[in-house]
Amino acid sequence: MQNQIKKNIAFTGSRKGFNNKTLVQTIARSVAQAGHCVLVGCASGVDAAIRSVVPNAKVFSVASPSAGSVCSPAQALARRSMSMVSASSVLIGFASVACPAGVCPSAHFSGGGSGTWASLAYAVSKGLQVFVFCADGVALPSWSGGQWVRAVPSGVWSRAWSFVPSACQLSLI
């Protein structure tokens, strides 16, 4: 029997929470029980829900700005999220709101006010496997370079969408 490779799997979601806390906790628990390392932020909402069921999760904290720092609170959150994404191979998001206009996969971290979508877009740009669970009524963004597909046909993961990059087409010239 082949050993499964354990991964660093990060989570992102609203500080105000997700409309289905039980789903968030079920997914986080399943990842941890599979032996993967759970990475999560230090915020309230989705982060707190995950930390409550995965007490050994690796928590990425926002660095406190020092006196005279030119780093705003939003920049500190962005740096924290970029660090967490960079340490992971998979990102699972819980989107409570639609992706703001103009947010798309980019090496530049920008979410138009949504850290969840900024993290997801940043992860896609870095080539990570990305899954997103959307709250009822939240549509997936149309991002170039790939498409959203259902993660699995049934079960708790059937509510997840995965961004699948377009296949590279080789030039015949």
Does the model's pTM come out above 0.85? yes
Interatomic CA distance for residues 136 and 95, integer angstroms: 10
In a domain, 1, yes or no: no
In a domain, 95, yes or no: yes
CATH of the domain at 17: 3.40.50.450
In a domain, 172, yes or no: no
In a domain, 55, yes or no: yes
Could you tell me what percent of the chain has a pLDDT over 90? 65
How high is the pLDDT of residue 89?
95
Using CA atoms, how far residue 67 sits from 70, 71, 72, 76, in Å, is 9, 10, 12, 14
In a domain, 93, yes or no: yes
Read off the amino acid at residue 98: A
Q: What is the pLDDT of residues 138-170, one digit of tens each?
A: 999 999 999 999 999 899 999 999 999 987 544
In a domain, 111, yes or no: yes
Query: Whose CA is closest to 28, among 55, 2, 1?
Result: 55
Residue 70 pLDDT class (50, 70, 90 cuts) = low
Residue 117, domain extent: 8-165
Structure tokens at 155: 């079960």
How high is the pLDDT of residue 15?
85
Total domains in the fold of the chain: 1
The side-by-side arrangement of strands in the sheet containing 58-60 is 58-60, 37-41, 8-13, 90-95, 129-134, 160-165, 146-150
Contacts of 76 (CB under 8 A, 6+ apart): 62, 63, 65
In a domain, 3, yes or no: no
Burial (CB < 10 A; 0-12, 13-18, 19+), residue 158, is exposed
Q: What is the pLDDT of residues 13-46, one digit of tens each?
A: 988 877 789 999 999 999 999 999 999 999 899 9
In a domain, 121, yes or no: yes
